[in-house]
Structure 1
Amino acid sequence: MRLSLAALMAATLVGCAMGPDYQRPEMPTPGVWRTPEPDAAAMADMANLAWWKSFGDSRLDALVQQALENNRDIRIAVGRVREYAARADLAKAQALPEVTARGSSTRDKLSEERQVPLASRTPVNSAAYEIQAQVSWELDLWGRVRRTNEAYIADLMATDEDRRAITLTVVSNVVSTYVQLLALDRELALLQKDVANRQEVARLAEVRQTGGAGTLLQVMQARAAAEEAAAAIPAKEREIAAAENALSILLGSNPSAVGRGRSLAQLTPPPVPQGLPASVLEQRPDVRMAEQNLRAANARIGVAKAEFFPTISLTGLFGYASTDLSRFITEKALFGSVGSQLVFKVFDGGRNDASVRAAEAVQVLHVEAYRRAVQNALMETEDALVYHQKTMEREQALGRQMKAVASLAELARKRYQGGQGTLFEVLDAERQLTAAERLKLDAQRDEHLSLVLIYKALGGGWKVAAPDVLDSVATSPASSPMN
């Protein structure tokens, strides 16, 4: 028996695992980006970079930290990681023996009034005591348990990558919403300035009418233009309130007003990071998640193939039993047994074969999903780089336009005050100036938003505030997502 046990244990140690070992699919990637940034900073360690702090707004930093701590989507994702960590521990435990213990104590009294009398000297009262331990251990000769463990750990790592993707999305949304809120504040200020300018034009029209140089029609036109501008203010205030409410939800709090730090013009744009396409694929949580899903599907092929082979288990039973408590723990009271069990499916109607084909089909699907994630990552990064470059060019052109329109508005007002121009020229110049200022503001806002998109596309900052729920999981090939 000892030789048999030793042989079985040796077979377990050298047993092969069914199914293919994981290999990352071949996926050609470009060596450089299609739209390189000429003034881009080298990407050092994007994964741990709190890039939003580069904006130089302490209020924004506090809002991001609040979102990392209280956002409901992040909390749900962390809870899901903990769930899959428990499942991985459950799968890991299948490789260990299972030991159960049972104890019992009974006292019996026999009836002395039976139809058949008790035999002579038969005790009427008796007792029985028993304690036993049972051991069961499945020998993983074909790697079913190992492949199952590998699949569950890959599931766990994929779930954690999903949490990191959600974290990155939440951080990006907080920064984007805050930038848009600052832009809305500036738009409201421009509207209020526009109303004040038009009211001043209306006052000048009234002065000219009083002096006989203007008409009542011009006065009414100027007043109508001022009221038109004033009517846009409540709508803009509604947009600000909606943006504050959306930001509050991202922060994990009820809808409420949100304090600001710097103005949009005072924000310091972070440097444009520049990394090679291959480094982006190493950092993007969605790409890493797709690879972990592929790894899990690959391992489950081995699980399905292992079902074709018999299951071998070792069992053991040991304990003590006695009718006398004083002789309970003695050699004579000891009992036990050792055995082995082999279970083999003789006929299953093709179930195992169908399971293998299904697992292989799922693995092929995840190969394509991984390649799609890679291409999507490259596309999003390229789009973000193009967006930023063209936004900068647009902002420069709009800056020159605004200077020209500002000079035009000033000239039109001076001509009107001197009696050389018309009210229509003044109002038209004011409208052009307001439109140019808003376009310049939009470009400035888009510049900041494009940087947020770049950092999000490059997978920056997604390791911030990572939970420690993975510490209990044993190290395995699946624990290193990009190996």
Structure 2
Amino acid sequence: MHVRKQSMKLGYLFAAGLSIAAMSGCTPGPAYVRPSVTVPTHYKESTPPKGWLAAQPGDAADRGDWWKVFGDPKLDELEARVDVGNQTIQKSLANLRQARATIGVARSSYFPQVTAGTDANVNHTSKDVVGHALAGRTVQDYSMGVTASWEPDLFDRIGHAVDAAKARAQASEADLASIRLSMHAELALDYVDLRQIDVEAALLKKLVDNYVQAKNLVQTQFDGGIASESELAQAETQLQVAKAQLIDLGEVRAQREHAMAVLMGVPPANFSLPPMDKALPLPTIPVGVPSTLLQRRPDIAAAERRVAAANADVGEATSAFFPDLVLSATGGLEASHFAQLATLPSRFWAIGPALIGTLFDGGRRHAQLSAAEATRDAAAADYRQTVLSAFQEVEDNLASLHVLADESATQQRAVDASSQAADLAMTRYQDGATDYLEVVTTQSVNLAQTRALVELSRRRFAADVGLIKALGGTW
């Protein structure tokens, strides 16, 4: 009869526990709302230069190998090696796997926890213990049992933790996309720089050949008593300066090669790229509209997901103000003699729910909630700043492309004029109408202007890559 009453009491307790569990639809904490940002209707610098297209983004367009806009098979080959060998990308992949595993850790709290164990010990009680039935005796105790416990998610504490873990995993996935974009952009920049160095080296080699011919001409005139020793020295100086500038380019080219090797995950000693003096064509990049930037930029997506994770943390901190229900059961065998352990009288069991709530904690939960809310507000500010920075990067690169296009056209006219002046000076020198100083001066100006034009071309390619990166690598 006593056992029956105990069973009924346990049944009532479990019924009460299940009734409380049924109220788990109550979800404390704020609903997530994406932080608002001001998005312009168009880019300030969106007026495209001649030959550029401003297009709406196409959902069916290829969103992967953006570097193919440069139309260079060698660049395509090198970029394909970045995902495989780049160690920064490999680290980001490991961080993503870790973030996804954290989701499983959070989800495991939805399920009961079951543990099993065995125990064997010998206890001897002091004889001087008054009123102790086992005083002065040695007692053996053998036991084995299973314990199961489950905490129903009454107020969505676990749900908030899972939501936070999911959002952080999504942020890690966006981080991976952002790092991939950065690594591919760095390789493209180094490759473009290297190609421009080769173009500049080819220019200097041609000038060295021209300066050799000019020096030979001065030498002939000097031998004939027409040119002075000073003019011969000027011709020699001009030749050696051009050779020194050509040699100097080798240092920068080697550094670009080494940087590209590291980006691909190979030792610099195992990578080399033969000179290619053919200039790359400037690509055509559809810019799109500002509103689509929020969907294309992986760093914006990562920042937004971190706001969602921080908001879930606020919900979890809010759930701490509500009680927890714990359902537990224990059963097993226990005996003082090992031979009796497997007998029926040695069994034991316990079962029952527990409702636990914190009445006083010195303001700890309120402080944790305030901290979580502050973290969410900081994440929202980071998101808005990331959006603003993204718009700035697009505008900066658009402005650079516009200005550099106009500057290149003007610089080309300067190169043409200086080339004509250098040719006229050489003709005048051959006719005996001027000295060689005029030739040196005009040729030096022509060289400086031509190298400036090559540098402008490099900056335009850098702005192209910068714009692609600022647009999220896709359009």
TM-score by length of 2: 0.85
Once the two structures are TM-superposed, the CA of residue 103 in structure 1 deviates from its matched residue by: 5.3
Which of 64, 67, 70 aligns to 1:49? It is 64
CA spacing shift, 1:271–1:6, aligned 2, 3 Å: farther
The residue number in structure 2 matching 1:376 is: 389
In structure 2, what residue type is equivalent to 1:443? L
Once the two structures are TM-superposed, the CA of residue 155 in structure 1 deviates from its matched residue by: 1.9
The number of residue pairs the alignment matches comes to 443
Aligned-partner Cα distance in 2 for 1:411–1:257: 48
Aligned-partner Cα distance in 1 for 2:157–2:170: 20
**SS at structure 2 position matched to 1:48:** coil
User: Is the 2:234–2:440 Cα contact (8 Å) retained in structure 1?
Assistant: no
Once the two structures are TM-superposed, the CA of residue 27 in structure 1 deviates from its matched residue by: 1.1
Which of 30, 37, 48 aligns to 1:20? It is 30
Aligned-partner Cα distance in 2 for 1:208–1:83: 77
Once the two structures are TM-superposed, the CA of residue 381 in structure 1 deviates from its matched residue by: 0.9
Which of 4, 26, 29 aligns to 2:39? It is 29
The residue number in structure 2 matching 1:392 is: 405
Cα deviations by residue, 1:336-378 (Å, 9 ceiling, x for unpaired) = 3321122222221111111111111111111111111111111
Cα deviations by residue, 1:136-176 (Å, 9 ceiling, x for unpaired) = 11121111111111112222222222222111111100000
The residue number in structure 1 matching 2:80 is: 65
Alignment of 1:306-385 (within 5 A): 306-319=319-332, 335-385=348-398
Gapped regions of structure 1 (runs ≥ 5): 109-126, 463-483
- 1:447 aligned onto 2:460: yes
User: Is the 2:171–2:303 Cα contact (8 Å) retained in structure 1?
Assistant: yes
CA spacing shift, 1:258–1:18, aligned 2, 3 Å: same
In structure 2, what residue type is equivalent to 1:12? A
User: Is the 1:282–1:288 Cα contact (8 Å) retained in structure 2?
Assistant: yes
Aligned-partner Cα distance in 2 for 1:327–1:90: 37
Cα deviations by residue, 1:236-289 (Å, 9 ceiling, x for unpaired) = 211111121122111112223744478464434332122211111112111111
Cα deviations by residue, 1:308-361 (Å, 9 ceiling, x for unpaired) = 22221111224467989999598x776533211222222211111111111111
Aligned-partner Cα distance in 2 for 1:319–1:245: 67
The residue number in structure 2 matching 1:152 is: 165
CA-atom RMSD, angstroms? 2.8
Which of 279, 286, 295 aligns to 1:273? It is 286
The residue number in structure 2 matching 1:475 is: none
Which of 253, 256, 259 aligns to 1:240? It is 253
**SS at structure 1 position matched to 2:27:** coil
User: Is the 1:58–1:261 Cα contact (8 Å) retained in structure 2?
Assistant: no
Once the two structures are TM-superposed, the CA of residue 388 in structure 1 deviates from its matched residue by: 1.6
Identity %: 30
In structure 2, what residue type is equivalent to 1:64? E
**SS at structure 2 position matched to 1:316:** strand
The residue number in structure 2 matching 1:291 is: 304
Cα deviations by residue, 1:401-443 (Å, 9 ceiling, x for unpaired) = 2223222222222222222333122112211221222122112
Cα deviations by residue, 1:203-229 (Å, 9 ceiling, x for unpaired) = 111111222321111111111221222
CA spacing shift, 1:99–1:445, aligned 2, 3 Å: same
In structure 1, what residue type is equivalent to 2:27? A
**SS at structure 2 position matched to 1:27:** coil
Which of 94, 101, 109 aligns to 1:79? It is 94
**SS at structure 2 position matched to 1:340:** strand
CA spacing shift, 1:133–1:257, aligned 2, 3 Å: closer
The residue number in structure 1 matching 2:446 is: 433
User: Is the 1:57–1:262 Cα contact (8 Å) retained in structure 2?
Assistant: no
In structure 1, what residue type is equivalent to 2:363? G
The residue number in structure 2 matching 1:469 is: none
CA spacing shift, 1:411–1:341, aligned 2, 3 Å: same
CA spacing shift, 1:324–1:242, aligned 2, 3 Å: closer
The residue number in structure 2 matching 1:124 is: none
CA spacing shift, 1:432–1:10, aligned 2, 3 Å: farther
Comparing 36-45 with 22-31, greater Cα deviation is found at: 36-45
The residue number in structure 2 matching 1:222 is: 235
Alignment of 1:250-265 (within 5 A): 250-256=263-269, 258-260=271-273, 263=276, 265=278
- 1:99 aligned onto 2:114: yes
Comparing 141-150 with 417-426, greater Cα deviation is found at: 417-426
User: Is the 1:57–1:261 Cα contact (8 Å) retained in structure 2?
Assistant: no
Aligned-partner Cα distance in 2 for 1:262–1:237: 11
Once the two structures are TM-superposed, the CA of residue 93 in structure 1 deviates from its matched residue by: 0.9
User: Is the 2:143–2:341 Cα contact (8 Å) retained in structure 1?
Assistant: no
CA spacing shift, 1:295–1:209, aligned 2, 3 Å: same
**SS at structure 2 position matched to 1:256:** helix
Once the two structures are TM-superposed, the CA of residue 12 in structure 1 deviates from its matched residue by: 3.5
CA spacing shift, 1:207–1:425, aligned 2, 3 Å: same
User: Is the 1:244–1:257 Cα contact (8 Å) retained in structure 2?
Assistant: no
TM-score by length of 1: 0.84
User: Is the 2:14–2:352 Cα contact (8 Å) retained in structure 1?
Assistant: no
Aligned-partner Cα distance in 1 for 2:277–2:87: 28
User: Is the 1:17–1:147 Cα contact (8 Å) retained in structure 2?
Assistant: no
Gapped regions of structure 2 (runs ≥ 5): 1-9, 123-139
- 1:133 aligned onto 2:146: yes
The residue number in structure 2 matching 1:171 is: 184
